[in-house]
Structure 1
């Protein structure tokens, strides 16, 4: 086994243990010496694995104290990236299922027209899906997509990955999105389709999604239960 494979495997094993609660939040990982003994490897390899754990939000290295385990019950959702939920699911590695509650072709109202910058008589696909993560419905995704760009949609596609269908089957080039993030009171629909666990508000992420030719073709509202998610980005200071 190469050194790279060794520290990656150690990282993955420790990350899995943290996620499963073997090491509880705010506890300390075993010392570097103990980890060297456990994995029968060098301190340099252990330090590389610990660095990966730190970079991925599993631990916080504390000078003179060791590696403090962080609370990973919240899942990371990138702010700046534009990824499908299926792609996100693969990176999270969690048990996630999708239920399609609604798939209809409707005429746009003035409200839709303003969101999608389209004529009032345009047709749009309205899709409502809930995401069940580890046995709880904690995300409600509501999408409106211009039918002019997407002629047909099926429940099977919506349950799997709309973006995979648009890019791989229809050949559309999805390019960029403008995002807005707010905290809003939960609606009647939220309470019906989500397991809110007593929370009265949700995190609302609005996406205005454009194709490569700059066409605004999709408006999305992704409604998240407050306690389960953190939204992350990487920022570098410009000098």
Structure 2
């Protein structure tokens, strides 16, 4: 591994464990070059990686300011389980299984999916606790005709790992919507909202490789903890007319 990448990982670790806190300045390039016994050019490369990764912001005349990393990134276009995000972003969290039972699909969701409200589903509600506070409420409805059984321990660990690796099904694509909504009574009872009056909601209908609909999921997020990200590339105006 190149030296500047090693330095990047070292400073990244210091930011993650809050040796360097949000709003603080990193040591100057000159001090860092002496600390690591490398050239300032090597330090600049490491700082560029930190900048591109969202850990710092450079400010003229001040230096490198550490950004608030308590917001975890949720990709807009990706189809990723919470467990995978938890591992990828080193989120120290706990999953609380609130409900896992067979019931008929709620009428509003059946209408949204354009299927019968008599459809049997596994209704799963899980709270995601970060730093001792429930900041996400995940509500999933999985068609019992596709997922015959759903043990509690699998619901706690990872639905997608169970579906793909235990049941041998291939999850392929989803249609998502993102919206900010007033917090419901259920949100206030099950989440640590403090004085927040609204939550960010993502709704998805998820399909298998053969296009079979198998899941409706609704994730309700506390506003201050999470951000949704996407890589965007500008297209030439002519492309938009096609």
TM score, norm. by length of structure 2: 0.91
The separation in 2 between residues aligned to 1:95 and 1:23, in whole angstroms, is: 18
Match of 2:42 among 40, 45, 60: 45
User: Contact 1:179/1:206 (CA < 8 Å) preserved in 2?
Assistant: yes
> Which residue is equivalent to 1:162?
159
CA shift for structure 1 position 177: 1.3
CA shift for structure 1 position 64: 5.3
> Which residue is equivalent to 2:240?
none
The separation in 2 between residues aligned to 1:76 and 1:26, in whole angstroms, is: 19
The separation in 2 between residues aligned to 1:137 and 1:106, in whole angstroms, is: 25
> Which residue is equivalent to 1:128?
125
Match of 1:214 among 197, 211, 219: 211
CA shift for structure 1 position 238: 1.1
Note the aligned Cα RMSD (angstroms): 1.7
Deviations 1:192-239 (A, max 9, x none): 111112212111111111111222221111011111111111100112
Larger deviation, residues 27-36 vs 152-161:
27-36
Q: Tell me, which stretches of 5 or more residues in structure 1 are unaligned?
A: none
The separation in 1 between residues aligned to 2:108 and 2:191, in whole angstroms, is: 25
Find the residue that maps to 1:34 and give its secondary structure.
helix
User: Contact 1:206/1:220 (CA < 8 Å) preserved in 2?
Assistant: yes
Q: 1:163 to 1:153 in 2, by over 3 A?
A: same
Match of 1:81 among 68, 78, 82: 78
Aligned length: 236
CA shift for structure 1 position 108: 2.5
User: Contact 2:182/2:197 (CA < 8 Å) preserved in 1?
Assistant: yes
The separation in 2 between residues aligned to 1:204 and 1:110, in whole angstroms, is: 19
CA shift for structure 1 position 38: 0.9
The separation in 1 between residues aligned to 2:87 and 2:5, in whole angstroms, is: 18
Deviation beyond 6 Å, 4+ runs, structure 1:
none
The separation in 2 between residues aligned to 1:115 and 1:9, in whole angstroms, is: 49
CA shift for structure 1 position 13: 2.2
User: Contact 2:105/2:141 (CA < 8 Å) preserved in 1?
Assistant: no
Q: 1:139 to 1:109 in 2, by over 3 A?
A: closer
Q: 1:109 to 1:93 in 2, by over 3 A?
A: closer
The separation in 1 between residues aligned to 2:92 and 2:23, in whole angstroms, is: 25
User: Contact 2:20/2:26 (CA < 8 Å) preserved in 1?
Assistant: yes
Match of 2:114 among 113, 117, 122: 117
The separation in 1 between residues aligned to 2:172 and 2:41, in whole angstroms, is: 41
The separation in 1 between residues aligned to 2:233 and 2:171, in whole angstroms, is: 26
TM score, norm. by length of structure 1: 0.92
Find the residue that maps to 2:8 and give its secondary structure.
helix
Q: Does 1:202 find its partner at 2:212?
A: no
> Which residue is equivalent to 1:36?
33
